[in-house]
């Protein structure tokens, strides 16, 4: 019994007294961030279209993100909320669910996104443009909008700050990448949006920063490589100064930092996490 009681205690960590929403939490970067946040003590709301991972990555499909977190931290510290991030009413309901369950919202991680089939601008379709902008840019606008609305009306966090927003862009949002016209446009919008939000809400002590991952080993990248010539992953890895592709955990660490007191004077930061790719 003593062991059970200890396991249900709120864990210590850099995010121990915070409630966080992570969109796209069922797989890839979102899964890694949700795990890292929980292990740093946050209460976590996992948002995605489905609870189980969409990928065929064995370590992700054996047990869902929510099941794993409930096993590690307790069922009272994590929930799943089915969410289409491109729809305003569903993002609004997601924030309401977080507050209903945990009493407040401290951290919003706008991570959900898609990577379309590689193509050239003159071959990209309007339908592709609309889909990618809805999922990769509109979702961040909605996530910021409804998270900020909640942060402004609740009492400040014990630190004196009102909230932390971590947006997910890409190195495609800061440098030119081949055959990514719609993806680059959406990710570039996320970078500019982050800076704008940071400026408007700094007086309210709401932090808004953006991560720009490079080529990271996730199911999305695996799908992209499936449409490219054999050996593309090895060739691409060799193009990074650190050599090789990144891991989801490489992104989760900085996501923790940006939601912690260690980043108390950081807002409007555009942080490449890409093994030096964009520095060249």
Would you name the residues annotated as active-site residues?
183
Going by C-alpha positions, the residue among 64, 35, 59, 61 that lies closest to residue 48 is: 64
The string of DSSP codes covering the chain is: -HHHHHHTSPPPSTTTT-EEEEETTTSHHHHHHHHHHHHTT-EEEEEES-SS-SS--HHHHSS-HHHHHHHHH-GGGEEEEE--TT-HHHHHHHHHHHHHHHS---EEEE-----PPP--GGG--HHHHHHHHIIIIIHHHHHHHHHHHHHHHSPPPTTS--EEEEEE--GGGTS--TT-HHHHHHHHHHHHHHHHHHHHHGGGTEEEEEEEE-SB-SHHHHHHHTTS-TTHHHHHHHTSTT-S-B-HHHHHHHHHHHTSGGGTT--S-EEEESTTGGG-
């Amino acid at each position: 019994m003593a062991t059970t009681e200890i396991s249900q205690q709120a864990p210590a960590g850099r995010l121990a007294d915070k409630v966080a929403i992570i969109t796209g939490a069922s797989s890839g970067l979102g899964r890694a961030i949700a795990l890292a946040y929980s292990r740093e003590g946050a209460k976590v709301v996992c948002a995605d279209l489905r609870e189980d991972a969409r990928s065929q990555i064995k370590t992700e499909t054996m047990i869902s993100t929510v099941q794993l977190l409930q096993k590690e931290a307790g069922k009272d510290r994590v929930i799943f909320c089915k969410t289409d991030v491109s729809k305003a009413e569903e993002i609004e309901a997601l924030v309401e669910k977080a507050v209903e369950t945990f009493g407040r919202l401290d951290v919003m991680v706008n991570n959900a996104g898609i990577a379309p089939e590689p193509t050239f601008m003159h071959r990209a379709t309007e339908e592709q443009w609309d889909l990618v902008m809805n999922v990769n840019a509109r979702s961040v606008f909605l996530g910021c909008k409804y998270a900020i609305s909640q942060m402004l009306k609740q009492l400040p966090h014990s630190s004196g700050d009102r909230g932390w927003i971590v947006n997910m862009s890409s190195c495609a949002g800061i440098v030119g990448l081949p055959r990514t016209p719609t993806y680059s446009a959406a990710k570039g919008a996320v970078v500019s949006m982050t800076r704008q939000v940071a400026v408007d809400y700094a007086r309210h002590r709401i932090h808004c920063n953006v991560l720009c991952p490079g080529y990271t080993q996730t199911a999305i990248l695996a799908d992209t490589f499936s449409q490219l010539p054999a050996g593309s992953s090895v060739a691409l890895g060799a193009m990074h100064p650190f050599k090789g592709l990144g891991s989801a955990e490489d992104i989760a660490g900085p996501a923790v930092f940006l939601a912690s007191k260690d980043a108390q004077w950081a807002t409007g930061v555009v942080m490449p996490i890409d093994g030096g790719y964009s520095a060249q």
